[in-house]
Structure 1
Amino acid sequence: MSQSPSVNDQWVHRVVPSPAGRIHLVEQGSGPLVLLVHGFPESWYSWRRQLPALAAAGFRAVAIDVRGYGRSSRPAAVEAYRMLDLVADNVAVVEALGERTAVVVGHDWGANIAAHSALLRPDVFRAVGLLSVPYTPPGGPRPSDVFTGMGAPAGPFPGQEFYVSYFQEPGRAEAEIEPDVRGWLAGFYAALSADTMPPPEAPDPHFVAPGGTLRDRFPADGRLPSWLSEEELDVYAAEFERTGLTGALNRYRNMDRDWEDLAGHEGAPVTQPALFLGGGLDASTTWLSDAIEAYPATLPGLTAAHLLDGCGHWLQQERPEETNRLLTEWLAALPR
């Protein structure tokens, strides 16, 4: 059962100082701190169904707007969105809340941010939960080369452009999205949801054809996924109509900088207690299956891992009851 689209009398909104300037957060409950980090293109609101469940289970649940999103600061410089800065924001939030440690849980880009928060600041983040996107240690080939190679003549998708590459040039994706933010978000959410995603034989919505746009491959029938009401879509759309998409997209524009910044941590495991939840129909899970198989080496503290059959990318919104149960069971078993 979802909460009201925009109001819950148990939610406390606040803004706290951070290296970004300020971070907006929403909290509910009391107890050990659980920091919830969203992905693209979302906001703190993607955790609306987890905040009350975690609070009821005896935790202080805090969902943030990542820098560049919502009511958090949006620095102008592209390079202000590198991973080191996002980790520093998370540490600042924990300190501003008067806590010394936290469990950090992330979805999509938030999973990546959560994993690196645990990797770089094990003194602050005592456990880490990853939703949808597996942990892959720093290192390997330069990311931009990998993404470009996917559409090369000898690559798996010849002649097509991977969405991460499409997002690299400032202004290019914004020109597609911002004239119709609500419609674009609806299509993007539908394209990666289990009940509305294109069939396997359809062109992959993660790629752009020459001269095309991402939107060309969104489902044509305009149906919203079952987890998203018109009113909930309005909440997401209103935030991005106000802020634009540049802050959110700048995260993608720092992947090569992250590769350079984190070179000293090449291959490093995250050793804290960990949880992984993936969707059985999510490309993040299937494309990165090798990363999941490597968990004994890269995530040696993994204590729970679950693949949700028939679930797409928006895991905690598509399957809130199941996600809440698995998350609270894992949290309750952690040493305090």
Structure 2
Amino acid sequence: MVSSPAGRIHLVEQGSGPLVLLVHGFPEFWYSWRRQMPVLASAGYRAVAVDVRGYGRSSKPEDTAAYRMLDLVEDNVAVVEALGERTAVVVGHDWGATIAANSALVRPDVFRAVGLLSVPYAPRGGPRPSEVFARMGGEEEFYVSYFQEPGRAEAEIEPDVRGWLAGFYAALSADTMPAAGAPDPHFASRGGTLRDRFPAGRLPAWLSEDDLDVYAAEFERTGMRGALNRYRNMDRDWEDLAGFDGSPITRPSLFIGGTLDASTTWMADAIEAYPATLPGLVSSHLLDGCGHWIQQERPEEVNDILTAWLASLPI
């Protein structure tokens, strides 16, 4: 545990050498990097995976506004400093990719390179995010809007955390996601729930029953509010980051996405804009037939890409 502006941040550390900070997404915690940490340590890096504020063993402030992006960036800075380092490479998946990107954008003095998994970098800009998401889906409701209403998603998830997580992980995994043309699990019908569209009865190949038990036990212990509060700060982030409107990330960068991940396909324009928005991009990879949980679905490929990229960076 280390001190942060919000209280305490839990971390798991392996290895020594240059620091690589690993940041998870929703609904996960440090455990999502279990297949990367030993490999990075063996390659000579100090691999540190955190529980993001609101998750796992980290502090969970009561105030929803305490989960804004700039606070999460400062948490990452606090981790680097508490570990006795001046700089780090930051790598994130899902929401962690957005946190990592903003860490490199806002504090390039600390984060010397950034790796993004699944969610591309898109500079701040455009209308207020809540307005954008409210217009998506027509007669249906986009999952981000669904999550933004305090208490609503908690009421769906918390009576059966294990079952909900199993369905959510399966819905976005390559081998278990709904077939083309089936109702999209990123949307809920008006008055319905997201779970109505989750596949049932089979776990994705990357997720064992024991792994699911680990995830479920942690969220059963903590509840979901801290994790969901990230979604409830997107308008605050848009306001806080106004000074970075349209700004590129100039630090050396990496992107890895899956061809079956909606985060990649919906944001294809963001990937195409990388020459302008990520001018320091070292390599970009789309893994064929891969879904959203990329470092768990395809750990060997991700590990090979990560270690090759890290080796290419200046010390």
- TM interval, short-chain normalised: over 0.9
Structure 1 residue corresponding to 2:11, chosen from 11, 25, 47:
25
Alignment of 1:213-224 (within 5 A): 213-220=193-200, 222-224=201-203
**Is 2:82 the partner of 1:102?**
no
Contact 1:139-1:262 within 8 A present in 2 as well:
no
Letter in 2 for 1:46: S
CA distance in 1, matches of 2:212, 2:38: 20
Structure 1 residue corresponding to 2:111, chosen from 125, 150, 158:
125
Contact 1:36-1:62 within 8 A present in 2 as well:
yes
What residue in structure 2 maps to residue 173 of structure 1? 153
Please report how far the alpha carbon of residue 158 of structure 1 lies from its aligned counterpart in structure 2 after TM superposition. Answer: 1.7
Aligned-pair identity (%):
82
Letter in 1 for 2:107: R
CA distance in 2, matches of 1:130, 1:213: 30
**Cα displacement string for residues 148-180 of structure 1 (whole angstroms, at most 9, x for unaligned residues):** 111xxxxxx320000000011111000000000
What residue in structure 2 maps to residue 88 of structure 1? 74
Please report how far the alpha carbon of residue 40 of structure 1 lies from its aligned counterpart in structure 2 after TM superposition. Answer: 0.1
Contact 1:115-1:130 within 8 A present in 2 as well:
yes
Letter in 1 for 2:8: R
Deviation beyond 4 Å, 4+ runs, structure 1: none
Letter in 2 for 1:264: G
Alignment of 1:1-336 (within 5 A): 15-150=1-136, 157-220=137-200, 222-336=201-315
CA distance in 2, matches of 1:58, 1:82: 33
In structure 1, the gaps of 5 or more residues are: 1-14, 151-156
The TM-score with structure 1 as length reference comes to 0.93
**Cα displacement string for residues 246-303 of structure 1 (whole angstroms, at most 9, x for unaligned residues):** 0000000000000000011100000000000000100000000000000000000000
CA distance in 2, matches of 1:76, 1:200: 40
Please report how far the alpha carbon of residue 191 of structure 1 lies from its aligned counterpart in structure 2 after TM superposition. Answer: 0.1
* 3-state SS in 1 of match to 2:174: coil
In structure 2, the gaps of 5 or more residues are: none
**Cα displacement string for residues 224-267 of structure 1 (whole angstroms, at most 9, x for unaligned residues):** 00000000111100110000000000000000000000011100
**Cα displacement string for residues 79-117 of structure 1 (whole angstroms, at most 9, x for unaligned residues):** 000000000000000000000000000000000000000
Letter in 2 for 1:291: A
The TM-score with structure 2 as length reference comes to 1.00
What residue in structure 2 maps to residue 8 of structure 1? none
CA distance in 1, matches of 2:286, 2:149: 34
**Cα displacement string for residues 100-145 of structure 1 (whole angstroms, at most 9, x for unaligned residues):** 0000000000000000000000000000000000001112111001
CA distance in 2, matches of 1:276, 1:58: 22
Letter in 2 for 1:30: S
* 3-state SS in 1 of match to 2:256: strand
Letter in 1 for 2:161: V
Please report how far the alpha carbon of residue 60 of structure 1 lies from its aligned counterpart in structure 2 after TM superposition. Answer: 0.3
CA distance in 2, matches of 1:314, 1:168: 22
Letter in 2 for 1:49: R
* 3-state SS in 1 of match to 2:13: strand
